[in-house]
Structure 1
């Protein structure tokens, strides 16, 4: 079936919103429809575990773009609507309201959903997750000064949530199954730093901890640990990772190893079907590895690449990944991917104060940096990594040497 030029974007995420905007910027003249299960316009997600958790926060500040933008650009945003099926032969999508829409191009920006806790009591009212605006609204109803909160999971979401709750006067305990917090994503030195700072702020930690069950106890919820410990909580926030939303992609028979497989132009194996953002599994040529990234940077940059390809301006996706995390007065900025590192070089003192950088090496090659309250070191390292340059470890460790003078002209291979 030949359809008029119409790009349907499934998902009102960062990736979906950017794809629509980029299509117009690149000259796409056809119809654009964003179909979102959310009840509002696309909004920023990083603040959800930070400023948005504060009772009384203004939700209007979350919107990525105002409603006037979509009207001016002739972008239709259908909220509170789910796509339940896709027919690749007819190039159509079926919505949960019974409507069928036809497309010339389809972009899957379906994102990811939280990994659910599977144990007795996991469905009790005080058990919350943190992925969307509705989750934030629920959590706010449990926040009160002097209340007790238990965070399950010592990753970035868990720690950001802990910081936000402490600022509002709640007592917080973080339960982590691993032997240290942030174990999957940072070096031991960075984990120890964040543990120290959170403890200074009044957060308690239980490591190597396993939860047996949750039980209602009056107006509180009891968290029963395998070692016999028992915690009473007014609020429980679960942050144990996410899973990519690939159900629609699987309907199309697409390969989904750890997300929807796409090429360097964000194309799937299905003609005129693209995928962008947290739901995608793609190749990163800088690190010569395939992976799935959960970041605003990846979502927006990949969306731009998909829009360019649809508009006949194919550009291969080759961007250095970068991330950030805000906790208390700490601004963590990460450039690059530290996977496979065999050496960490510290610039600054991680044992005291609240500012230092950790540089990750594999052999002679610099892979990534975690810069805490060091924006200059983040900025220059991000730039030089993108250029394929490495650095001299001994120079990096010497704070008297300007960061720009620590880098070599070319990167070395990892052996």
Structure 2
């Protein structure tokens, strides 16, 4: 239990899924919470990262934070199967390499999940439009002072807390404070991404044909492979189809503080030509009719050696930037928040140092293994070289027996529930 004489205060920098998940678990642990977010208001629409898959553990944790747990089921849809297929270059027909009927994920819209969590929190804990600038830890290591700029007015404000939770994403400024030489690692490929919205034209030829070509799309995630490239495809709520197409290419020159890039008409024209050459026509038509697709450069980093510095702790992508191949980013962030909250509750405000040490000891081995596994899976899927095996060639593959990384079920620690979390 928290010390009743002094209710400890945590400042969370970042109001995305990692940040608001941490707000839930810290409040439950008896902490006062303040969330700083540079965006001017809660998100209402988001194309970047619009579709995501929630694993069974995340589903149970999220439901435990909601006053009406059934809302999670109502706002998501089942992803019960995973299919890996090879696409023949000439006939464009799909050949099944693996079929897993026990995925038990749920598909969600990023904004729906964010809203679900946000609406359960007191609105006055959020400081929207506040850009993190710097931090300083007190000499006795008992408090941390954060400077932020109010984006609308340029006013500089200071906030003091007992704990700083860095949930500021893969380009984390807080992480850079402690690791000034840190650099993200480019994977060697980018992803074309888009969300095809057919809610206003459910009976179009494109919609009918894609459901014929991918008959289980309402409950299945499809991975289609061609030489040196692959894509994933699954349906998300509100009659939308989420797709990502990975292409090997040199590193993009992106604008600062961004992993994505909008495309001009010339680049879009080349995309449409390429999709017709490589993929089944039903998927190609979906790509052609998707409004405002964008390019997402794929980065990760070698596992960090620590997640905690005095009374500063990293969660989410700030702690473990990862490639998206194993549906880990959001799921790792949710479990980070759950473990952090339970450790703080276990040790109390006076045991903050012990709580953070335990959090780090529980999470580092798991997230490190998962980041490296996802990296390896991405290289296999893209036909890139690995030191211990020949490149994956979907043209000759009859199964994925020699490449178990291609199935989500083989992620290390995927069913791991830390002892500190009681789901009874």
Q: Do they fold alike, i.e. is TM over 0.5?
A: no
TM-score scaled to structure 2, two decimals? 0.43
Greater length-normalized contact order (CA 8 Å, ≥ 6 residues apart):
2
Taking structure 1 as the reference length, what is the TM-score of the superposition?
0.44
